[in-house]
């Protein structure tokens, strides 16, 4: 459950969601990730640290560059949690719809 909490806490920030959207396009250096944001390099590093701590990204070194990539297994626990509740709500709405169709209309 800790990773699930960390994943949703990380996803709660729009900058971190934008970083994940960028990484969905492919691996990127920290500089490439930081370029469109009007915040400092240390702030970007803190965001990356949160994403890495939540297992949403992985960072590796290539020479002097730090390369970031999405970690799909980190998103898996968050997706599984959503899928469980999606199934619950879909079933509940289907039952409500069936119930409402049985009720005669008042004129």
- Tell me the pLDDT tens digit for each residue of 10-53: 999 999 999 999 999 999 999 999 999 999 999 999 999 999 99
13: nearest Cα among 32, 89, 82, 39: 39
- How far apart are the two ends of the chain, measured CA to CA in Å? 51
Residues 67-101 pLDDT 10s: 999 998 888 888 888 888 887 778 777 788 888 88
Q: Is the pTM of this model over 0.85?
A: no
54, with CB counted inside 10 A (0-12, 13-18, 19+), is: buried
Q: Cα Rg for the chain, rounded, in angstroms?
A: 20
Structure tokens given for 23: 């990484």
In sequence order, the 6+-apart residues with CB closer than 8 A to the CB of 69 are: 23, 27, 57, 58, 60
Q: Which residue segments constitute the domains of the chain, with CATH numbers given?
A: 2-102 (1.10.10.10)
1-10, 43-52, 59-68 — which is least confidently predicted?
1-10
Provide the pLDDT for residue 107.
Answer: 67
Angle (deg, nearest 10), helices 14-23 and 41-53 = 80
């Amino acid at each position: 459950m800790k990773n699930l909490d960390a994943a949703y806490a990380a996803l709660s920030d729009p900058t971190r969601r934008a970083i994940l959207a960028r990484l969905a396009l492919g691996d990127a250096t920290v500089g490439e990730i930081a370029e469109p944001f009007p915040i400092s390099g240390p702030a970007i590093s803190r965001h990356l640290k949160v994403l890495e701590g939540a297992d949403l990204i992985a960072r590796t070194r290539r020479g002097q560059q730090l390369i970031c990539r999405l970690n799909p297994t980190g998103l898996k626990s968050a997706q599984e949690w959503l899928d469980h509740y999606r199934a619950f709500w879909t079933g509940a709405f289907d039952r409500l719809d069936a119930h409402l169709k049985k009720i005669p209309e008042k004129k």
